[in-house]
Homo-oligomer: A and B are copies of this chain.
Amino acid sequence: MMKVTLIGAGNLATQLGKSLKKAGIIICQVYSRTESSAKILGELLDTEWLTDVTLLNDEADIYIFSVKDSALCELIPKICKGREDKLFLHTAGSMPMTCFAGVAQHYGVFYPMQTFSKTKDVSFEKIPVFIEGDSAGTESIIRRFSGKLSKRVITLSSADRKYLHLAAVWACNFSNYCYSVASDILSEHGIPFNVMLPLINETTEKIHKISPKDAQTGPAVRGDRNVMSQQLKLMNGRGDLQELYRILSQGINPLIGNPVLDKNN
């Protein structure tokens, strides 16, 4: 039976805590710098919560850090020191595993490829979890632990995890910004954003079956300079969007160049 203490009570920690509990894993304590967050998650998981790291006890086998990158570096020495027999994990995409080196003896990474919010529950079962351990032995413990939550556990180095995180920014954060631009354009013309949802659903459904490159549609990929030139004009006064439109279109179809996408057009 594994026992876990959660360091952090944000979106990821909340969903992780709920899923761990469901999987029968005991949550010993929940720590957060913010009292309200600590209290909410502690009560949700029916466990002790605290805002003072010196009150952390040694009951857990695994201490999981789900905090901002800056807080991570600050908390690691404070928490790992004196607990050399414990396993320490962090969940950060862009932080190397070695941020534990020299402070902890058994450590690694548990990086679930998903976006989390406190209120919307997600099932960890289908979330790919990328793990890394300081040694083969540690990795196998992390793999066993992760396997209790997810059906897809993949070993990945810190160096490659950075690229995975970068890819996630493109696939999730930047695509969402594209939706946001669409939403702004529609609202300026009195059209509700929800008319886009069937199109967005279909777009994402397609890439479950074919590659995004093969699924690409629109004026850029078919080289429709007429439409592109018209659409650039519709964004007059929004130089940032015009610039994005140009670079995105050229990315989709490198054969498009001037004069259609000329800045002076």
Interface residues of A (CB under 8 A from B): 68-70, 94, 113-115, 117, 120, 122, 126-128, 152, 154, 156, 160, 162-183, 185-186, 188-191, 193, 195-204, 206-208, 211-213, 215-221, 224, 226-227, 230-231, 234-235, 240-241, 243-245, 247-248, 250-252
Contact = CB atoms under 8 A, between A and B. Distances in A.
A152, A172, A193 — which one has the most chain B CB atoms within 10 A of its CB?
A172
A213 B178 CA distance: 10
Contact of A202 (B114, B199, B235): B114
How many chain copies does the complex carry? 2
B231 A166 contact: yes
A200 B175 contact: yes
Contact of A167 (B165, B196, B208): B196
A197 B160 CA distance: 18
A16 B123 CA distance: 37
A54 to B, nearest CB: 27
B185 A115 contact: no
Nearest to A172: B203
Given A244-B244, A247-B240, A178 B181 contact: no
B94 A176 contact: no
Nearest to A195: B128
29 contacts: A94-B226, A113-B196, A114-B198, A115-B217, A120-B206, A122-B202, A128-B195, A128-B198, A160-B191, A162-B231, A164-B191, A166-B231, A167-B181, A167-B183, A167-B186, A169-B219, A170-B182, A171-B179, A171-B200, A172-B203, A173-B217, A173-B252, A174-B244, A175-B175, A176-B207, A180-B213, A180-B252, A183-B213, A244-B248
Given A173-B216, A179-B171, A227-B94, A127 B198 contact: yes
Given A113-B195, A176-B216, A244-B251, 17 more contacts: A69-B224, A69-B226, A115-B202, A152-B195, A163-B188, A167-B181, A170-B181, A171-B182, A171-B203, A173-B219, A176-B212, A177-B248, A178-B178, A183-B212, A197-B208, A200-B207, A240-B251
Contacts of A252: 173, 177, 180
Contacts of A202: 114-115, 122, 172
Contacts of A175: 175, 178-179, 200, 203
Contacts of A215: 176
Nearest to A205: B120
Contacts of A190: 160
